[in-house]
Amino acid sequence: MASGTALIYDEEMTTHKLLWSDPICDIEVPERLSSSYEQLKCYHLVERCVQVPAREGSEEEILLVHSSEHLEVAKSTQTMNEEELKRVSGNYDAFFFHPNTYCCARLAVGATLQLVDAVMLGKVCNGMALVRPPGHHSQKNAANGFCLFNNVAIAAEYAKRKYSLQRILIVDWDVHHGQGTQYIFEEDPSVLYFSWHRYEHQEFWPSLKESDYDAVGLGRGKGFNVNLPWNKVGMENSDYLAAFFHVLLPMAFEFDPELVIVSSGYDSGIGDPEGQMNATPEVFAHLTHFLMQLANGRLCVILEGGYHLKSLSESVCMTVKTLLGDPVPQITGEMAPCLSAVESIQNVRAAHKPYWKWLMYEGNYYSISSSKCNWQMDSCRHSKLLRLIPCFVLYLGIWSFTFVLNSFSLLKDAEGNDFFAAVLGFILPIAYSYQPDLTVIAVGPNRSLGISGISLLFALLQGLAESRIFAVIEVRSGAKPIQLKIRYSLSCQLSGFRHTLFCSLLKCHLL
Ligand code: X5A
Ligand code: ZN
């Protein structure tokens, strides 16, 4: 597997700026890019990344998504004076042209494609591109919401063609709805688009009906557009994590993407004047960490919004640090999602029930209320689709909390998605609300979980306890030892001990 993290930045993209007064657009400043890069330098993260140069996206690449009319209008602004620029800008909802905007937007496209190439060619495992102008509001024929060309949409279309990809996941954690990206892919089943966004029952910009949870895609693309509207401001880490556990991640594992692209806006972070949300920079480390478990780690993070310079740059650093493989920091604060978030989550799940196996069966073994630690073991036992996963014990924290999955029955479908739907919807929410200082995992020998399943389980649990994991894996004598690729963990393998091992661990707990 490829290793290394690419970082793409070109100072040229700071030349695009607002030349007149406009209270809507004046937050999209060049310092968003420069201060993020300075903070990365400050944490010595730049030197740890593979520097990949930006390039200009070609006209042909821009035309993968945009009309030639749109391209020509953008091109024509290069030689305009301020008055003309202002007039053309006025044709769009929240956009400003500068004589160098076209050049910067081409660099933003090219930087994004450079990252896709670096990841797809195995030169790096993952990476981030710091770009301006952003892209996700931009549409086939229109600039919109500070965006001229849709960098991420072009990248997805480019990757589909150049690398014959059949499944690409776009995760849009910007606080605004990337309606541009939705329009471009809504009929396309090969691109799964997930966006959460401040919505406030259609009060918040861009105030579209089609940003709601019931916009699930069109035609063959039905089920591949996922909108999670936030109807209140002040969403916290717990709400974002709940959205990942109960919507995005189970869907993403079922979809099984070949490439993941993040429309990475940090206006969903604390302090942002647009988002008015309360998620801390650390949450982006967790979100990044989860997405790194998909598509063999092929993850491209592309900057979108983010207007509070300090919050933005800290969140960018958290993201890059996590891409580099550093342990993710502990999350603090209330861990139960708020009622409004739970409502939105339930709505989008209901809307997508016809399209996803994991949702079709969900009532059979766990429900959303597991996020509030209502243990629903009993309903699990009686489903006719159940199968036993024996001898699997998971301890979270030695002294005060033990989660026993011994003879815990789980639903199993043909793809074996069962177990991870339960891990995501049930174990992780409990584990995150417990916030252990150490995770102890004991795996018995008689399991139905294969090595890749065990690896994934470990990886998912590595977002906890600052990645401190003590793993005990019991193997049958004579069996091949298990090799797990885990950093920052201490693991040992035992054979022949069987139940005594678990008993002593349990005793330890009971004391
Ligand atoms: C990329 C981005 C926001 C536009 C807000 C206009 N755009 N009111 O965050
Ligand atoms: Zn935004």
- Per annotation, catalytic residue among 66, 98, 136, 137: 137
Average pLDDT value for residue range 307-318: 98
**pLDDT at residue 473, rounded to an integer:** 74
pLDDT in tens, 431-447: 898 888 888 887 776 66
134 lines ligand 1 (CB under 6 A): yes
305 lines ligand 1 (CB under 6 A): yes
**pLDDT at residue 363, rounded to an integer:** 57
Type of residue found at 499: H
Q: Are 238 and 335 in contact (CB under 8 A)?
A: yes
Average pLDDT value for residue range 336-364: 91
Protein residues within 5 Å, CB atom, of ion ligand 2: 174, 176, 265, 267, 305
Q: Indicate the helix (H) or strand (E) that contains 440.
A: strand 439-443
103 lines ligand 1 (CB under 6 A): no
205 lines ligand 1 (CB under 6 A): yes
pLDDT in tens, 209-255: 999 999 999 999 999 999 999 999 999 999 999 999 999 999 999 99
Query: DSSP letters along 454-495, please?
Result: HHHHHHHHTTSGGG-EEEEEEE-TTSPPPP---SSEEEEEEE
Q: Are 501 and 474 in contact (CB under 8 A)?
A: yes
94 lines ligand 1 (CB under 6 A): yes
Average pLDDT value for residue range 242-270: 98
Distance 304 CA to ligand 1 centre (A): 9
176 lines ligand 1 (CB under 6 A): yes
Distance 185 CA to ligand 1 centre (A): 20
Lowest model confidence (mean pLDDT) among 197-201, 383-387, 392-396, 442-446: 383-387
Q: Write the residue with the smallest CA distance to atom 7 of ligand 1.
A: 145
Distance 264 CA to ligand 2 centre (A): 9
Q: Are 355 and 223 in contact (CB under 8 A)?
A: yes
| Helix and strand numbers, DSSP H then E, in the chain | 18, 15
pTM of the model: 0.89
27 lines ligand 1 (CB under 6 A): no
User: Among this protein's residues, is 308 annotated catalytic?
Assistant: no
Query: Which tokens go with 17?
Result: 């700026």
Q: What region does 34 belong to: left with phi over 0, alpha with psi -120 to 50, or beta? A: alpha
Q: What average pLDDT is seen over the chain? A: 86
Average pLDDT value for residue range 131-158: 99
Distance 12 CA to ligand 2 centre (A): 22
Q: How confident is the model at residue 293 (pLDDT cuts 50, 70, 90)?
A: very high
Distances (CA, A) of 399 to 155, 176, 295, 436: 48, 43, 36, 10
Q: Are 6 and 75 in contact (CB under 8 A)?
A: no
Q: Write the residue with the smallest CA distance to atom 1 of ligand 1.
A: 305
Q: Are 437 and 471 in contact (CB under 8 A)?
A: no
pLDDT in tens, 94-106: 999 999 999 999 9
Measured in whole angstroms, the distance separating CA 186 from the mean position of its chain's CA atoms is: 19
Q: Are 258 and 168 in contact (CB under 8 A)?
A: yes
188 lines ligand 1 (CB under 6 A): no
Nearest atom (ligand 1) to Cα of 174? 9
Distance 113 CA to ligand 2 centre (A): 21
**pLDDT at residue 467, rounded to an integer:** 85
Q: Write the residue with the smallest CA distance to atom 2 of ligand 1.
A: 305
Ligand nearest to the CA of 144: 1
